[in-house]
Amino acid sequence: MSDDVKALSAQLAQDPDSLVFLRLGELLRQRGLLDAAHRVALNGLERHPHLADGHDLYARILADKRDYERAFDEWDMTLRIAPGHVGALKGLAFLYFKVGDLRQAVAHLETARREAPDDAGVEQALAMVQGGDAVGAARGLGMEQAVPVAAAAAPLDEARVFAGLEGAQEGLLLLDASGRVLGGALRDASDTDVTEPVAAYLAGVSQEAARTAKLLGLGTWSGLAAEGRLGHVHLAQPSAESLLLVVRDRSVPMGRLAIIAPRAAQAAQRWLAKQA
């Protein structure tokens, strides 16, 4: 344990009602000690339930733990206690951006800019959100840990993951449950690499899909398919800790995609087994 963490912990032990828990919790969060940060924040909120900064800290920790639903509730509570709280506005902007609601993300960031015109992070995040850069936006908002930094996109190595699979050279993305890219790459219709923002967006999707399937009484989910104006997508779960996204343009019918996707999942399963 570092000296600064020890010193803050000692201060808090001497005075459990001290607001030093805010500094300690944030320091632990920044160092990736999320369970310890979680305990500190909860203990602090038990003693200071109406402290806006306490709810903001707890929300940031929840976001880092990928518990976005509860993080949203905590940031919402922060704004109820302290309307105009910049941390909560930035946090909600991050969550809205993550689910693709750019209008709400920009609106919250613009409000944050009015509240804190000298906050360079807000300006950076606003530019990154408008440019679709998930990692850059998270960095500007101080939420780097909440968006896994995916490996730099590179041409797909078929021999490494999808060896011998039809169409393996494009439209396949394998990632772990936290959004870290394991193989593949994606480009949009304008040939722009979108591997990183797509991976960040899909972080935690498997948990949400499992929760939804359970609530609807559908049993264990095995795949999701969607038809778009320009193409189709299929999301599968090759293992309990991985996701596979298959993307094809409209020239590939959904029926064909339903054949390609399971084959890709099998290839991913074989590759994952070799890595274990």
How far apart, in whole angstroms, are the C-alpha atoms of residue 223 and residue 233? 11
pLDDT tens, per residue, the chain with 276 residues:
567 888 889 999 999 999 999 999 999 998 888 999 999 999 999 999 999 999 999 999 998 888 888 889 999 999 999 999 999 999 998 888 877 777 888 899 999 999 988 888 888 778 777 765 555 566 666 665 555 433 333 333 444 666 556 555 568 888 877 677 888 888 877 777 788 778 777 766 767 777 787 888 877 777 788 888 888 888 888 887 788 888 888 777 777 777 777 878 888 888 778 766
Q: What DSSP state is assigned to residue 145?
A: G
Task: Give pLDDT, residue 17.
Answer: 92
Residues 146, 95: Cα–Cα separation, whole Å: 10
Query: Residue 182 and residue 30: Cα distance in Å, rounded?
Result: 25
Alpha helix ranges (H) inside 145-253: 195-202, 205-215
pTM over 0.75: no
* Angstrom distances, CA of residue 109 to CA of 120, 132, 137, 141: 12, 14, 11, 10
CA distances from 170 to 126, 152, 173, 181, 197 (A): 31, 16, 9, 15, 17
Instruction: Say how far apart CA 70 and CA 78 lie, in whole Å.
Output: 12
Q: What pLDDT does residue 168 have? A: 56
Instruction: Give the pLDDT confidence score for residue 201 in this predicted structure.
Output: 74
| Cα(216)–Cα(132) distance, integer angstroms | 33
Phi, then psi, of 15 in degrees rounded to 5: -140, 90
